Amino acid sequence: MTINPHLRRIVHEDNRRTVDEIRAWVSQNKITSVGMLWLSGMATSIAFSWPRPHMKSSVKIMHARIHPQALTLGALLAAAGLVNYGQVYISRNFCNTSTHKGYD
């Protein structure tokens, strides 16, 4: 079954726009997005570890804290990398303007 190329282009542009909107929101709300990631990781970890009858509740809670902390650390490192990349990207674009040609 072939898909109409016009329809394919519209869907592709719509998906790209959605991804760009999500990327812009995360870029503007880094701490909120990291907090949401931690909260969802905590809820998921509790949901998966709570039904295990052989573990004490204190161990379940401790495990539920450790996994999201590792996830949050990775998200903070990624956010720091994105901030650094953004600053480098902006400075490179600034240096490539017509007033700074030849000074790269």
**How does pLDDT run across 16-45, given as a tens digit for each residue?**
778 778 778 877 887 888 888 889 988 988
What is the distance between the alpha carbons of residues 3 and 76, in angstroms, rounded to a whole number?
Answer: 41
Output the pLDDT for position 23.
Answer: 76
Q: How far apart are CA 11 and CA 18, in angstroms?
A: 11
Cα–Cα distance for residue pair 90/96, rounded to 1 Å: 10
| Position 3 pLDDT exceeds 60 | yes
Considering the domain boundaries, does residue 88 fall inside one? yes
Q: Is residue 25 part of a domain?
A: no
On whether residue 45 sits in a domain, the answer given is yes
Considering only CA atoms, give the Rg of the chain: 22
- In this structure, is residue 15 part of a structural domain? no
Residue type at position 8? R
Res 17: pLDDT: 79
Task: Provide the domain count of the chain.
Answer: 1
Determine, yes or no, domain membership for 2. Answer: no
Task: Tell me, yes or no, whether 49 lies in a domain.
Answer: yes
Range(s) of the domain holding residue 85: 30-97
Q: What is the structure's pLDDT at 2?
A: 66
Residue closest to 72 by CA, chosen among 46, 43, 33, 28: 33
pLDDT at 33: 84
What six digits make up the tokens of 2?
């072939």
Hey, what are 82's tokens? Answer: 């994105």
102 falls within a domain: no
Tens-place pLDDT, residues 44-98: 888 888 888 888 888 888 888 888 888 889 888 887 887 777 666 566 665 555 5
pLDDT-based confidence at residue 103 (cuts at 50, 70, 90): very low
Examine residue 21 and state whether it is found in any structural domain, yes or no.
no
